[in-house]
Amino acid sequence: MGNFWSGRNNRASIALALCIALSGGLTGSPSWAQSETAPSETQVVPPPQFLDPETPIARAIQSEMSPDLDQGLVLHYGERAFAPVWFTEDGLTENAHLTIAAMAAANEHALNPNNYDPLGFIKRSETATSEQDWARFDIDLSVQFLRYATHLSSGRVQPNAVNKALNLFPDRPDPKNLFKAVARSEDFSAFLDSLAPQSDNYARLKRRLGQFREKAAEGGFTPIPDGEVLKPGMDDPRIAVLRQRLIEEDIPGAADHNGEAYDGALVEAVKTFQEYHGLATDGVIGKNTLAKLNIPLQEKLIQMELNMERRRWMRDDLGEFYIFSNLADQNLKVVRNGKTIHTARVVVGKPYHATPVFSDQLEYVEINPFWNVPYSIATKEYLPKLKQNASALSGKQIRVFQDGTEIAPTQVAWNSYSGGNFPFRLRQDPGDGNALGRIKFMFPNRFNIYIHDTPSKSLFSRAERAFSHGCIRVSNPFKLADVLLADVNANPGHWETIRDSEKRTVIKPAAPIEVHLTYLTAWMNKDGSTHFRKDIYGRDKVLLEALRTAMTQNL
């Protein structure tokens, strides 16, 4: 029969043994999952010598084809005449060993190894004696590999099924094509690695998760005792503890500070910590900053694990030229050929007007736009005011239209209408008081969401900026226009000149520009900084519950 532990199979088995040793057992699981104690027995015993290595096992596999199996998987077995995928007459293949090892190490990707039962396959390989035993083994390993590949490449749960505001539909692996790729693979280890998102953002967060887990195993972060608000220049007995706490989270500059005065490098380190956590960067350690300093490391681990799931939903390649707005971060960036060429603060939807997550393409930019008041705003906000005072629109440059004809608001019996009976359209003229400001960036979509200017500039100075009805208000919008429309006209100030002309103007970009509205509450930047944001829409909580449910149901 041959020795499983020699030659190529030996290298695979060593990989499995190392995986077990490094992970502390095959059943290691994400922070949000319960784990069980893994048995220490790991030896894999080869399958029995079949008198006919093909026909009997093929018949056994065919007889084990359940109606509940994925049809793509059934077709794959049928095309190979029901020959086993994971073993030959010489024993388990190297691919089988590497697959079991990969599933055992799923915790590195914030997936739960228990969902793929790697230890179970080791035990079954020790006890299987018949063709039927090995047929079930082969089919079950195929099923679990398909599940593992699906979870790793496109997520544990379907985003839109978890939350209708997440309009993401990641491609799930096609079983037939997946197993064909397995058969064709010359470097199966590389193939397994390729199943995970191939983006630097995912790789960085995965690496940082591992580092934070090590810190958690060492005892976590040192808590900061309560006390009075700590301002720069003050002396405080907590200074040494604060310094140690910042060093533990690798905040730059913290280790450069000495003494018991809150000054110099330590103040700058606190400002950096505040930046990393989406707080006002004033260096003052008040209630909010102290709370962030004392968040249990376990909660940060969970937050990172949730955002690895979100990264699995996203495409690896977001395009050559794109707008990326993280709603949780309330910031926007423009990326071209892999480089960030512009950043801006944004205002996003209030929690009860939460901005949805989706991708689209910028179609045009409009300077001096009209604002066609959305039906919901017209009926819920303006109609009650008009019922009280028919002149409520006076001074707002909002006109009333019915069937395309403008009518005077004072000539309408507003008390006769309701949200279900409102035949009017409200439109605000261009101008400084226009709700859209002087420019809007349009990517027409069914949510009626777009990026625009605003007359309410003061909101951009706030640390938390969730104040809109769902659309995204952007700071320095004409600077954004300069960046996005540089291929149309690169002269600085050109678009402001059009603005000042008061003329409504529509400009189309010269090259396709993708728009990605995302929701990420934890990420790691290229410079090594790790960022966490408040879950303004409660989507972390919803996703956490969905992942726990999926785990218990073994989906």
Residue 322: give its domain's CATH number: 2.40.440.10
CATH number at residue 272: 1.10.101.10
Looking up tokens 């089919």, which residue turns up?
A: 139
Which whole number is the average pLDDT over 543-555? Answer: 85
Which whole number is the average pLDDT over 272-299? Answer: 96
Q: What is the mean pLDDT of the chain?
A: 88
Does residue 425 share a domain with residue 380? yes
Does residue 542 share a domain with residue 502? no
Per the rule left: phi > 0, alpha: psi between -120 and 50, beta: everything else, 503 is: beta
Cβ 314 vs Cβ 307: under 8 Å: no
- Greatest C-alpha distance within the chain: 95
Measure the N-to-C terminal CA separation of the chain; round to a whole number of Å. Answer: 37
Report the half-sphere exposure of 145 (CA within 13 A, side-chain side): 26
Task: Tell me, rounded to whole angstroms, the distance of Cα 440 from its chain centroid.
Answer: 26
| Residue in 94, 11, 81, 95 with CA at minimum distance from that of residue 53 | 81
Cβ 301 vs Cβ 448: under 8 Å: no
Does residue 493 share a domain with residue 359? yes
Catalytic, 19? Answer no
312 domain residue, yes or no: no
| pLDDT surpasses 50 at 259 | yes
Looking up tokens 């193939």, which residue turns up?
A: 191
Report d(CA 505, CA 498) in Å as an integer: 8
pLDDT of residue 509: 97
Q: Give the strand pairing for 451-452 and 472-474.
A: parallel
Instruction: Give the highest mean pLDDT range of 4-13, 143-152, 455-464.
Output: 143-152
Does residue 144 share a domain with residue 101? yes
Model confidence pLDDT, tens digit, residues 218-253: 999 999 999 999 999 999 999 999 999 999 999 999
Does residue 498 share a domain with residue 473? yes
Q: Which helix (H) or strand (E) holds 88?
A: strand 87-88
Does residue 217 share a domain with residue 184? no
Does residue 403 share a domain with residue 454? yes
3-state percent breakdown (helix, strand, coil) of the chain, nearest 5: 40, 15, 45
pLDDT of residue 54: 60
Does residue 432 share a domain with residue 343? yes
Catalytic: which of 76, 471, 494, 531? 471
Does residue 544 share a domain with residue 518? no
Distances in Å between the Cα of 59 and the Cα atoms of 78, 132, 136, 180 are 11, 9, 12, 21
532 domain residue, yes or no: no
- Here the tokens at position 307 are 């955002």
Does residue 219 share a domain with residue 118? no
Catalytic: which of 76, 277, 452, 516? 452
Residues 6+ positions from 481 with CB-CB distance below 8 Å: 365, 367, 439, 441, 495
119 domain residue, yes or no: yes
Residues 6+ positions from 180 with CB-CB distance below 8 Å: 76
304 domain residue, yes or no: no
Report d(CA 471, CA 355) in Å as an integer: 7
Does residue 547 share a domain with residue 469? no
Minimum mean pLDDT range among 22-26, 121-125, 516-520: 22-26
| Residue in 34, 81, 78 with CA at minimum distance from that of residue 56 | 81
533 domain residue, yes or no: no
Does residue 326 share a domain with residue 275? no
Say whether 193 sits in a helix, a strand or coil: helix
Domain that holds residue 490: 317-524
| Residue in 437, 419, 349 with CA at minimum distance from that of residue 381 | 419
Specify the number of domains making up the chain. 3
pLDDT of residue 28: 52
310 domain residue, yes or no: no
Catalytic, 452? Answer yes
Residues 6+ positions from 212 with CB-CB distance below 8 Å: 297, 300, 301, 304
